[in-house]
Amino acid sequence: MLGLGSLSSVGVIATAKTKYQSDQIKLLDNPKRTFKVFGGITLRKHASARGILYGAAAREDLLVSNPELATSYAQQCGILVPEWELKWNILRPAPDKFDFTKADWLAKFAHTHGMLFRGHTLVWHEALPPWFNSTVNQQNAQKFLVEHITTVTKHYAGHMHSWDVVNEAIEPNDNRADGLKNTPWLQFLGPDYIDLAFRVAAQADPKALLVYNDYGLEYDNPKDEAKRTAVLKLLERLKSKGTPIHGLGIQSHLTGYETHFNPKKLRRFLADVASLGLKILITELDVVDQKLPAAFTVRDRIVAATYEDYLSVVLAEPAVIAVLTWGLSDRYTWHSTYAPRSDKAAVRPLPLDSQLKPKLAWNAMARAFDKAPRR
Ligand code: XIL
């Protein structure tokens, strides 16, 4: 039983730890960084001036119900990716049915505003429809996979900049020699499901850039290092067997208070991927601000520094051709659900605030685009 004395010391330790953490976080903040930007142009233009595509993930329901948000997308984005609408759980209401209504609305919106359109994602173990587990099995999995990829890819053939063909298929903690995640697709079809997915997509839309997409590749820690190694090995295997893969998507869900960021190691990884002849896309960029101070001035400055420091490194690699944020405005971000703050304050991970005004993160991205080598 802890005595009062020890209880108070536990309290002291906890306070000291919190204070240490907040001191550490304050060290992340540099009030001298003003993130000055010139030109008064949009992110789309800052990026395209360097031959880079900038865009964001969007949701049909949100653009329909927020016309002013739709206007911000039309102004800021040169490429659009559906956040939900091209996933199995939306596209596949039943085993024998496809519903493209919502995705088609976003494709039309992109076309209307002169944006490119990218697809996310043909093969994933999440966002599966309720009927999936009770219907798909070892015997019919290949039929379902080939039919899904063929039907969906053909539906947009010729109009799709790129597809995330396979999403999040690597998990070193699943202890497989090949580093693959033990997903239903792997269980039903074996490791070659990845090669199969790319070949079927390439047959259905020979014009689209076919991408493998994953997360947890960004930081200097043992987990990310192991994942970078496993992803690189997967890409090398696929290229050596002639799989029609053209790019790596790095999701880039960053953390504002992460101090283990090693530009040299990240640059080396990007160069190794590029040396395989692959393009690189930053596909789901945002910055978690959970443990950052509540004050907008400090929080926004640290988030902006995270954006600028990361993009300055990745954009130095000429194979990086596109940057998409996972949303555009703090008004709607998946982090409200997936990485909420303990103080219940609204999270601020994206370039525009909830009133659609550019934040320092917007400036940071513009500055990183301006400094990037021209493609
Ligand atoms: C997320 C969406 O943003 C959420 O709204 C949804 O509830 C779950 O999926 N990596 C991915 C994306 O590849 O598809 C995920 O999107 C975020 C993590």
Adjacent-strand bridge partners of 285: 325
CA 169 to centroid of ligand 1, rounded, Å: 15
State whether the beta carbon of 72 lies less than 6 angstroms from ligand 1: no
Residue nearest to atom 7 of ligand 1 (CA): 334
Span 213-272, pLDDT tens digits: 999 999 999 999 999 999 999 999 999 999 999 999 999 999 999 999 999 999 999 999
Q: Is 243 left (phi over 0), alpha (psi -120 to 50) or beta?
A: beta
Closest CA to 171 of 189, 198, 191: 191
Domains and CATH numbers, the chain: 33-371 (3.20.20.80)
State whether the beta carbon of 333 lies less than 6 angstroms from ligand 1: no
Pairing relationship of beta strands 279-288 and 53-58 according to DSSP bridges: unpaired
> Is the per-residue pLDDT at 72 higher than 90?
yes
Q: Are 246 and 210 in contact (CB under 8 A)?
A: yes
Q: Residue 9 — pLDDT band, cuts 50, 70, 90?
A: low
Count CA atoms within 13 Å of residue 275 on its CB side.
Answer: 9
User: Which residue type, as a one-letter code, is found at position 35?
Assistant: F
Span 263-274, pLDDT tens digits: 999 999 999 999
Closest CA to 247 of 212, 276, 207: 212
State whether the beta carbon of 252 lies less than 6 angstroms from ligand 1: no
Catalytic positions are 168, 284
Q: Is the dihedral of CA 199, 200, 202, 203 positive or negative?
A: positive
Both tokens assigned to 371: 């400094």
CA 9 to centroid of ligand 1, rounded, Å: 42
B/e letters for 293-310, b = 16+ CB within 10 Å, e = fewer, are beeeebbbbbbbbbbbeb
What per-residue confidence (pLDDT) applies to 25? 74
User: Which residue type, as a one-letter code, is found at position 312?
Assistant: S
CA 280 to centroid of ligand 1, rounded, Å: 20
* pTM score, whole prediction: 0.95
Residue 159 DSSP one-character state: S
> Is the per-residue pLDDT at 24 higher than 90?
no
Q: Are 227 and 221 in contact (CB under 8 A)?
A: no
Residue nearest to atom 4 of ligand 1 (CA): 334
